[in-house]
């Protein structure tokens, strides 16, 4: 990559990290908001679902728009709207549930504006040789925000419940100005597709290929499985398996850093040696076996190791599928990544709700259901015949 492309990549990775931090900030503050404003669990659930619902609706539309026009203005608009939504949320705490809901909806729109465009632009400025490394960095910023967000939010919330969101709003505003002043011209960082590639795209036919549909199904499955697994993690391990909160926290910390290391250091090497499709296949199979191991394990160390395998399997699924998606159609990266984010949002809406219902019915049902989903997905990976 050229120096100007490296600068652009740093800005893209930093922007995505900031947005994911903002998404994660609310998690440790939710109980305080619920108590301060005398809200119900349903109120909190609607608030969380609004973010994902708006992102689900808007992502493919905005992604398609970015394919026709430009991606950089959309990313900048997403950063600015992110700062506005965080500030609005901070002012609404303790005063107005409607304001909190509007702020979360705007946050979902901010994510829809920026995240598909970030991934699409990163794909446009890379070749097949270095795309896996770039997608790995973006995935690491995605995971890093999810990991660091709740921790930072918890620390700041101990000072004041609004502080995490005011701080996030200020950071978003600073990031917006840094982005618009330092981001290179989009035309200078894009790698032009050769005429041969364009001809191949036209000759191979329609946008909705079997390979694309199967990969999008896998995005839905992986996001659904990860969302159900993560959201039921604390409840299952505390209420069913008898782990204390300190042990659960260490689980999450160790997994987070291990996943980041694998995505940054080893993901590109894995793709280079065995290919994206084999990485996806191994991830689904290892996740399935790890869930079965958790259900039948006897000792805490067994559960710890099995949980790490499951988390790592989920965490490398997303960059592997995203990298493979980027090769399906080079011309419509915005639309593809918009569909990617929409299906991720669907999984994030359905997974926690269904997981909670199943946990109320039976203690092992959520993870049993996830195991069935992963087994089905593992079989589906053998039906794909993908040619670059």
pLDDT at 167 over 80: yes
pTM (global) more than 0.75: no
Q: Tell me, what's the pLDDT at 289?
A: 93
pLDDT digits (tens, 9 = 90+) for 35-60: 788 887 677 777 877 887 888 788 88
Q: Tell me, what's the pLDDT at 112?
A: 87
User: How far apart are the C-alpha atoms of 322 and 324, rounded to whole Å?
Assistant: 5
For 3-16, the DSSP string reads: HHHHHHHHHHHHHH
pLDDT digits (tens, 9 = 90+) for 80-125: 999 999 999 999 888 888 999 999 899 989 988 988 888 888 877 8
User: How far apart are the C-alpha atoms of 352 and 272, rounded to whole Å?
Assistant: 34
pLDDT at 194 over 50: no
Q: Tell me, what's the pLDDT at 55?
A: 82
- The reply to whether 201-381 shares the fold of 3-192 is yes
Query: Own/partner pairs for 362-368, CB < 8 Å, 24+ apart?
Result: 363/236, 363/239, 363/240, 364/240, 364/295, 366/228, 366/232, 366/236, 367/229, 367/232, 367/236, 367/291, 367/294, 367/295, 368/295
The mean of the pLDDT values for the chain is: 78
pLDDT digits (tens, 9 = 90+) for 322-353: 777 776 666 666 677 677 777 777 776 777 67
Q: Tell me, what's the pLDDT at 205?
A: 44
pLDDT at 206 over 60: no
For 16-63, the DSSP string reads: HHHHHHHHHHHHHHHHHHHHHTT--HHHHHHHHHHHHHHHHHHHHHHH
Helices (H) and strands (E) in the chain, counts: 16, 0
For residue 173, CA distances in Å to 25, 125, 384 come to: 17, 26, 43
Q: Tell me, what's the pLDDT at 98?
A: 92
Highest-scoring range by mean pLDDT, 80-94, 268-282, 365-379? 80-94
CATH code of 201-381, in short, is 1.20.1250.20
Only one residue has tokens 């632009």, namely 121
pLDDT at 182 over 80: yes
pLDDT at 201 over 60: no
pLDDT digits (tens, 9 = 90+) for 232-259: 666 677 677 777 756 766 776 677 677 7
- Mention every residue, 6+ apart, whose C-beta is less than 8 A from residue 375: 288
CATH fold, domain 3-192, is Growth Hormone; Chain: A; (1.20.1250)
**Domain limits, the chain:** 3-192, 201-381
User: How far apart are the C-alpha atoms of 261 and 208, rounded to whole Å?
Assistant: 34
Q: Are 323 and 135 in contact (CB under 8 A)?
A: yes
> Considering only CA atoms, which of 86, 326, 364 is closest in space to residue 219?
326
Residue scoring higher pLDDT (295 or 358): 295
Q: Tell me, what's the pLDDT at 27?
A: 66
User: How far apart are the C-alpha atoms of 39 and 55, rounded to whole Å?
Assistant: 24
Q: Tell me, what's the pLDDT at 309?
A: 87
> Considering only CA atoms, which of 110, 82, 108, 77 is closest in space to residue 183?
77
State mean pLDDT over 286-296.
89
Tokens encoding 135 = 């997608």
Percent of the chain, pLDDT > 70?
A: 81
User: How far apart are the C-alpha atoms of 324 and 330, rounded to whole Å?
Assistant: 11
Q: What are phi and psi of 267, to 5 degrees?
A: -60, -45
Sign of the torsion formed by the C-alpha atoms of 39, 43, 47 and 48 = positive
User: How far apart are the C-alpha atoms of 338 and 360, rounded to whole Å?
Assistant: 34
């Amino acid at each position: 990559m050229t120096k100007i492309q490296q600068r652009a990549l740093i800005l893209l990775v930093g922007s995505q990290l900031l947005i994911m931090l903002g998404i994660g900030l609310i998690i440790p503050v939710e109980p305080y908001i619920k108590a301060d404003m005398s809200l119900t669990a349903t109120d909190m659930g609607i608030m969380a679902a609004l973010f994902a619902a708006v992102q689900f609706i808007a992502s493919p539309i905005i992604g398609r728009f970015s394919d026709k026009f430009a991606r950089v203005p959309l990313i900048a608009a997403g950063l600015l709207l992110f700062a506005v939504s965080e500030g609005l949320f901070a002012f609404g705490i303790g005063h107005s549930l409607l304001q909190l809901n509007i702020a979360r909806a705007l946050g979902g729109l901010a994510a829809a504006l920026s995240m598909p465009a970030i991934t699409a632009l990163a794909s446009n400025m890379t070749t097949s040789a270095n795309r896996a490394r770039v997608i790995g960095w973006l995935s690491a910023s995605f995971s890093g925000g999810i990991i660091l967000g709740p921790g930072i939010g918890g620390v700041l919330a101990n000072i004041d419940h609004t502080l995490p969101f005011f701080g996030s709003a200020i950071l978003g505003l600073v990031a917006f100005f840094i982005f618009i002043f330092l981001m290179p011209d989009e035309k200078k960082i894009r790698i032009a597709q050769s005429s041969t590639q364009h001809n191949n795209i036209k000759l191979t036919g329609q946008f909705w290929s079997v390979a694309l549909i199967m990969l999008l199904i896998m995005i839905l499955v992986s996001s659904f499985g990860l969302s159900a697994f993560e959201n039921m993690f604390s409840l299952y391990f505390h209420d069913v398996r008898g782990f204390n909160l300190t042990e659960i926290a260490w689980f999450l910390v160790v997994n987070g850093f291990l996943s980041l290391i694998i995505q940054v250091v080893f993901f590109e090497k894995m793709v280079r040696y065995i290919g994206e499709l084999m990485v996806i296949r191994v991830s689904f199979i290892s996740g399935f076996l790890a869930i079965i191991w958790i259900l039948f394990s006897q000792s805490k160390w067994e559960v710890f190791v099995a949980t790490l395998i499951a988390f790592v399997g989920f965490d490398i699924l997303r960059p592997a599928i995203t990298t493979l998606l980027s090769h399906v159609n080079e011309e419509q990266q915005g639309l593809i990544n918009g569909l990617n984010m929409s299906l991720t949002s669907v999984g994030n809406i359905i997974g926690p709700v269904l997981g909670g219902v199943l946990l109320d019915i039976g203690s092992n049902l959520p993870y049993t259901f996830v195991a069935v989903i992963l087994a089905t997905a593992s079989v589906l990976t053998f039906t794909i015949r993908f040619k670059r």
